[in-house]
């Protein structure tokens, strides 16, 4: 079999190639393919950021091995039914006939097919059948998003039994880390200096390098805080401001209230996201938006909000909808504005024209967040930018600031910090008929919610000083051009921030005001500094005392209790400077 077709497949097939990559493998794909060819390994783990083009790369290897006679058959294992068909379509374009409709009850497939596409769950149900098929012919097994093989012990055991005899195994993932200790089959682990076992990739291509290469889009995160008021089961009325330091229970309740479709917060954030989508469409006419909802009821309510906001209906995709794949395909080729999905992050929601997202779910595992953001990063042409709206929740802000961090799957790790291991990914993607329960607080009533613009996060920096919904300050960021290079994004964000700060200083100087007494001025500056230190703590995880000590070391002066107005102001300026720089 010729490898020509796979060599000339669009690097992001079955979607459009990124700028400058048509008719050839991307540099990372070629480098990884060359490494694979030199080693001729039985097992090979490739970690590549979502949107980088893992499908093209894997099919290039499959075509080469078939042409050389190393293998005679291909089995592709995916997390979902939708992805089976997507892989079969891609393989068919390069002359590899794959049956996506193969059922365990069939036992065999037509001789017209070189291979089959199956799900991890399907393999786990009858591993002996798949083992027999693997033993019958020299087989390459391609594991799409291999970390799913650790979703349950039965899945992992089934995958091991079924594909242990395979001639070659190619493991692919964009997010190799997991929230649990379930080892991923056929993945190597090595002990680190702390005695923990970490997964070892044979080739890695992270978001940072992909962004530098123009393979993926830059992503800006627009965080929104706001006032929340709710009534507990005991009848107590509680108010809190999302985005300020809160206890774990307060945060979970405020977050839940924010996402409640009966409140104004989510409606106001979706209005802002739709204004952003309108701006993006000036440069990307078919740009679409995705709202990731928690459950079926809220998804339908969000769709009603979007109809009221836009005057157009939104496509709603539910996890148990038999027509979900068809709806996704139809939305992908349309110019409709909005799609609302219940989680569905690893359910095949892979639509290159998605440029704007609303993270309206309570799930905060790093794996889920990375996969959610991965829906928006696929680049089709140079300069496209993605925008993701999210609540000002410390865990989410921390994950947004760590977009470029490369992670491994760690076994036998210490207990995670609160919020980082709240649900496993399989729970995040299972059918959801009822809203999540965040913490132990069962039914409460949302009374009032309202949103305020908090900040923009990009490339490890934070921009914006907080503003009301609909204000000129918010519009400065919502109105960013939809086509910008990463360095242009950073430059423009810094300019917007600088202009806003200058305008505020000018306004403050022009406004008549009573002079504060020295003790009042110092108290106000201390509150401002402590608030900034709290935000830096959310972002970095450093204790407040450590942050204060570092500011004192850099700026000089005594402890804050003895610091002068000028010394406190200098520390405020310094920590704001940290926030606008890449870590």
| Sequential DSSP letters for 131-154 | HHHHHHS-EEEEETTGGGGGSSHH
CB atoms within 10 A of CB 101: 12
As a three-state string, the secondary structure of 188-213 is CEEECCCCCEEECCCEEECHHHHHHC
The pLDDT tens digits of the residues spanning 526-578 come to: 877 877 787 777 667 777 778 888 898 889 888 887 888 889 888 888 888 88
Instruction: State whether 193 and 247 are in the same domain.
Output: no
Question: Where is the domain boundary, 159, 178, 205?
Answer: 205
Nearest to 57 by CA among 170, 194, 148: 170
Token digits of residue 345: 């992050």
CATH number at residue 257: 3.40.50.300
Token digits of residue 260: 């409640």
Query: In what helix (H) or strand (E) does residue 448 lie, and over which residues does it extend?
Result: strand 445-458
In this structure, are strands 445-458 and 410-411 parallel, antiparallel, or unpaired? unpaired
The whole-angstrom separation of Cα 71 and Cα 48 is: 24
Give the per-residue pLDDT at 1.
45
Q: Is 18 part of any domain?
A: no
Specify whether the CB–CB gap between 481 and 258 falls below 8 A. no
Query: In what helix (H) or strand (E) does residue 342 lie, and over which residues does it extend?
Result: strand 338-342
Instruction: State whether 95 and 198 are in the same domain.
Output: yes
Strand arrangement, sheet containing 410-411: 189-191, 197-199, 410-411
Question: Where is the domain boundary, 205, 231, 250?
Answer: 205
Instruction: State whether 121 and 219 are in the same domain.
Output: no
Q: How far is CA 545 from CA 168, 446, 530, 548, 563, in A?
A: 53, 36, 10, 5, 15
Q: Is 19 part of any domain?
A: no
Give the per-residue pLDDT at 530.
77
Q: Is 510 part of any domain?
A: no
Question: Where is the domain boundary, 164, 188, 205?
Answer: 205
In this structure, are strands 203-205 and 73-78 parallel, antiparallel, or unpaired? unpaired
Instruction: State whether 248 and 301 are in the same domain.
Output: yes
Q: Is 425 part of any domain?
A: no
The whole-angstrom separation of Cα 379 and Cα 19 is: 8
Instruction: State whether 286 and 317 are in the same domain.
Output: yes
Segments forming the whole domain that contains residue 531: 518-581
Instruction: State whether 234 and 296 are in the same domain.
Output: yes
Report DSSP state, residue 575.
H
Give the per-residue pLDDT at 131.
96
CATH number at residue 73: 3.40.50.10810
Rg (CA), the chain: 25
- In the chain, the number of structural domains is 3
Instruction: State whether 236 and 354 are in the same domain.
Output: yes
Count the alpha carbons within 13 Å of 416 in the hemisphere toward its beta carbon: 17
Instruction: State whether 244 and 218 are in the same domain.
Output: yes
Count, in order, helices (H) and strands (E) of the chain: 20, 20
The whole-angstrom separation of Cα 25 and Cα 37 is: 15
The whole-angstrom separation of Cα 346 and Cα 79 is: 7
Instruction: State whether 261 and 158 are in the same domain.
Output: no
Global confidence as pTM: 0.70
Give the per-residue pLDDT at 444.
74
Q: Is 360 part of any domain?
A: yes
* Digitized pLDDT (tens) for each residue of the chain, 583 residues in all: 445 445 544 454 444 443 333 357 889 999 999 999 999 999 999 998 888 889 999 999 999 999 999 999 999 999 888 789 889 999 999 999 999 999 999 888 999 999 999 999 999 999 999 999 999 999 999 999 888 886 566 788 899 999 999 999 999 988 766 555 667 888 887 876 676 777 788 999 988 788 878 888 889 999 999 999 998 877 888 899 888 878 888 888 999 999 999 999 999 999 999 999 999 999 999 999 999 998 889 999 999 999 999 999 999 988 667 777 788 888 989 999 999 998 655 545 678 899 999 999 988 877 788 888 888 988 888 788 899 999 999 889 888 887 655 544 344 444 444 333 334 334 444 444 334 444 444 467 899 999 999 888 887 778 877 788 888 888 888 888 877 777 777 777 777 777 766 666 665 555 555 566 777 778 778 877 877 787 777 667 777 778 888 898 889 888 887 888 889 888 888 888 887 664 4
End-to-end CA distance of the chain: 48
Give the per-residue pLDDT at 521.
79
Give the per-residue pLDDT at 14.
42
Instruction: State whether 44 and 158 are in the same domain.
Output: yes
Give the per-residue pLDDT at 503.
66
The whole-angstrom separation of Cα 392 and Cα 371 is: 19
Q: Is 420 part of any domain?
A: no
Sign of CA dihedral 494, 496, 499, 505: negative
Q: Is 474 part of any domain?
A: yes
CB atoms within 10 A of CB 285: 10
Token digits of residue 170: 């190619």
Q: How far is CA 433 from CA 61, 294, 298, 300, 445, in A?
A: 41, 9, 10, 12, 19
| Sequential DSSP letters for 27-93 | HHHHHHHHHHHHH--SEEEEEE-TTS-HHHHHHHHHHHHHHHTS-SEEEEEESSHHHHHHHHHHHHH
List the Cα angle 420/406/280 in 5-degree steps: 85
Instruction: State whether 95 and 188 are in the same domain.
Output: yes
Instruction: State whether 162 and 280 are in the same domain.
Output: no
Q: Is 1 part of any domain?
A: no
């Amino acid at each position: 079999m010729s490898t020509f077709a796979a060599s000339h497949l669009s690097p992001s097939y079955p979607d459009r190639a990124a700028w400058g990559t048509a008719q050839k493998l991307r540099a990372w794909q070629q480098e990884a393919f060359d490494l694979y060819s030199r080693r001729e390994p039985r097992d090979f783990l490739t970690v590549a950021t979502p949107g980088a083009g893992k499908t093209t790369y894997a099919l290039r290897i499959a075509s080469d091995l078939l042409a050389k006679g190393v293998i005679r058959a291909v089995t592709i294992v995916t997390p979902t039914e939708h992805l089976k068909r997507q892989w079969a379509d891609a393989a068919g374009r390069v002359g590899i006939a794959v049956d996506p409709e193969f059922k365990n009850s069939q036992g065999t497939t037509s001789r017209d097919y070189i291979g089959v596409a199956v799900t991890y769950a399907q393999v786990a149900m009858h591993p002996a059948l798949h083992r027999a098929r693997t033993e019958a012919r020299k087989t390459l097994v391609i594991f799409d998003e291999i970390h799913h093989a650790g979703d349950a012990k039965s899945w992992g055991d089934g995958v091991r039994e079924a594909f242990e005899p395979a001639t070659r195994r190619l493991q692919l993932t964009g997010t190799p880390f997991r929230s649990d200790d379930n080892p991923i089959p056929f993945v190597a682990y090595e002990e680190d200096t702390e005695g923990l076992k970490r997964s070892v990739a044979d080739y890695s291509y992270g978001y940072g390098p992909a962004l530098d290469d123009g393979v993926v889009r830059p992503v800006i995160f627009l965080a929104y805080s706001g006032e929340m008021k709710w009534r507990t089961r005991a009848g107590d009325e509680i108010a809190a401001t999302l985005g300020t330091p809160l206890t774990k229970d307060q945060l979970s309740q405020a977050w839940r209230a924010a996402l409640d479709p009966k409140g104004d917060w989510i409606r106001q954030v979706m209005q802002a996201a739709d204004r952003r989508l309108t701006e993006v469409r000036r440069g990307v006419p078919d740009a679409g938006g995705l709202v990731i909802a928690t459950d079926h009821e809220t998804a339908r309510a969000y769709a009603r909000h979007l109809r009221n906001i836009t005057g157009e209906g939104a496509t709603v995709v539910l996890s148990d909808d038999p027509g979900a794949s068809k709806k996704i395909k139809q939305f992908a080729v349309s110019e409709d504005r909005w799609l609302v999905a219940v989680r569905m992050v690893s359910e095949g929601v892979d639509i290159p024209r998605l440029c704007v997202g609303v993270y309206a779910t309570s799930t905060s595992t790093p794996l889920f967040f990375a996969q959610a953001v991965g829906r928006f990063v696929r680049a089709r042409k140079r300069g496209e930018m993605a925008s993701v709206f999210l609540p000002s929740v410390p865990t989410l802000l921390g994950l947004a600031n760590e977009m470029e961090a490369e992670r491994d799957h760690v076994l036998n790790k210490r207990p995670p910090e609160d919020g980082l291991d709240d649900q496993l990914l399989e729970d995040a993607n299972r059918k959801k008929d009822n809203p999540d329960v965040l913490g132990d607080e069962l039914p409460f009533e949302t009374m009032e919610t309202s949103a305020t613009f908090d900040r923009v996060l990009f490339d490890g920096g934070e921009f914006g000083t907080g503003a009301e919904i609909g204000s000129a300050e918010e519009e400065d960021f919502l109105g960013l051009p939809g086509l910008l290079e990463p360095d242009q994004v950073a430059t423009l964000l810094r300019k917007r921030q600088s202009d806003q700060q200058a305008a505020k200083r000018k306004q403050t100087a022009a406004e008549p005001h009573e002079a504060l007494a020295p003790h009042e001025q110092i108290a106000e500056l201390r509150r401002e500094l402590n608030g900034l230190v709290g935000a830096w703590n959310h972002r970095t995880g450093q204790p407040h005392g450590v942050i204060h000590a570092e500011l004192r070391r850099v700026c000089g002066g005594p402890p804050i209790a003895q610091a002068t107005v000028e010394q406190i102001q200098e520390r405020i300026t310094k920590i704001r400077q940290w926030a606008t720089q890449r870590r």
